[in-house]
């Protein structure tokens, strides 16, 4: 990004970012901040500034709208993300994808590992890659560890769509975009998604576009 503020201490840069107003601008693919990984949170912001930053992430995520947002997506190389999914989807989509509501949550220093060998493949999008979606095969169940914004231990198993969300956001903290894990032949514009691939599963897209599903 290359501005003088980027060379200032992290807390000072976050203060300047928050002073720019809400919602925050979301960084698009191609910016190095999305590829360089993050530093663990160990109190760099202090409690009050952390609360302000978390609220800014919440406002920005909801305004986008999205179901998750990682700190690098607003230009901050800190190992922190937020998730929230009201899951306003039809019953057939909910059942096929295991998409159930998730309350607002803060993930601090998260990491995940697969639980079992089952994988699920669905179209996935990203606020930092606007206008496109692609099919990503991910572990169907993961164990997520880390902390919340109060420093309390997080050790929880996620399944279905919530598992996909926490994997997607944690990947951002490692400099990984969903496109790195996607089936290239599945890449579809939002228009194509609306016109052709709105089914609960990507089976029809796989047949038509010529890619395999797990």
Is 77 known to be catalytic?
no
Q: Is the pLDDT of residue 4 over 70?
A: no
- Classify residue 117 by burial, with Cβ atoms within 10 Å: 0-12, 13-18, 19+: exposed
pLDDT band per the 50, 70, 90 thresholds, residue 7: low
The pLDDT of residue 88 is: 93
Q: Is 172 annotated as a binding residue?
A: yes
Coil/strand/helix, residue 208: helix
- Say how far apart CA 192 and CA 3 lie, in whole Å: 37
Mean pLDDT, the chain, rounded, equals 95
The pLDDT of residue 106 is: 98
The fold for domain 4-209 equals: Peptide Deformylase (3.90.45)
Phi and psi angles of residue 107, each rounded to the nearest 5 degrees, phi first: -110, 115
Q: Is 29 annotated as a binding residue?
A: no
Q: Is 190 annotated as a binding residue?
A: no
Q: Is the pLDDT of residue 10 over 50?
A: yes
Residue among 84, 124, 141, 169 flagged as catalytic: 169
pLDDT by residue (tens digit) across 137-152? 999 999 999 999 999 9
Contacts of residue 174, defined as CB under 8 A and 6 or more positions apart, other chains included, come to 37, 38
Coil/strand/helix, residue 99: coil
DSSP secondary structure string for all residues of 14-73: HHHHHHT-SSPPPPPTT-GGGTS--BPPSSSSHHHHHHHHHHHHHHHHHHTT-SEEEGGG
Domain ranges for the chain, please list them.
4-209
Contacts of residue 167, defined as CB under 8 A and 6 or more positions apart, other chains included, come to 112, 138, 139, 142
Residue percentage of the chain with pLDDT more than 90: 96
Phi and psi angles of residue 133, each rounded to the nearest 5 degrees, phi first: -140, 160
Q: Is the pLDDT of residue 200 over 80?
A: yes
Q: Which two tokens stand for residue 189?
A: 């514009």
Query: How many angstroms from the chain centroid is the CA of residue 86?
Result: 15
First to last CA, the chain: 38
The pLDDT of residue 127 is: 98
- Average pLDDT over every residue of 157-161: 98
pLDDT by residue (tens digit) across 116-135? 999 999 999 999 999 999 99
């Amino acid at each position: 990004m290359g501005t003088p503020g980027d060379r200032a201490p992290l807390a000072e840069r976050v203060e300047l970012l928050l002073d720019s107003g809400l919602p925050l601008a979301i960084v698009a693919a191609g910016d190095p901040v999305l590829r360089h990984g993050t530093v663990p949170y160990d109190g760099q912001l202090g409690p009050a500034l952390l609360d302000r930053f978390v609220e800014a992430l919440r406002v920005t995520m909801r305004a986008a709208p999205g179901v998750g947002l990682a700190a690098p997506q607003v230009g901050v190389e800190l190992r922190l993300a937020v998730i929230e999914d009201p899951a306003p989807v039809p019953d057939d989509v909910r059942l096929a994808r295991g998409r159930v509501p998730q309350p607002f949550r803060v993930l601090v220093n998260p990491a995940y590992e697969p639980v079992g060998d089952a994988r699920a493949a669905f179209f996935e999008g990203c606020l930092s890659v606007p206008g496109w979606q692609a099919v990503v095969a991910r572990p169907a169940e993961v164990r997520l560890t880390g902390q919340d914004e109060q420093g309390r231990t997080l050790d929880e198993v996620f399944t279905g769509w919530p598992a996909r969300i926490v994997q997607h956001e944690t990947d951002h903290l490692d400099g990984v975009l969903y496109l790195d894990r996607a089936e290239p032949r599945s890449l579809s514009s939002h228009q194509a998604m609306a016109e052709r691939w709105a089914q609960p599963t990507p089976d029809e897209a796989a047949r038509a576009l010529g890619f395999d599903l797990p």
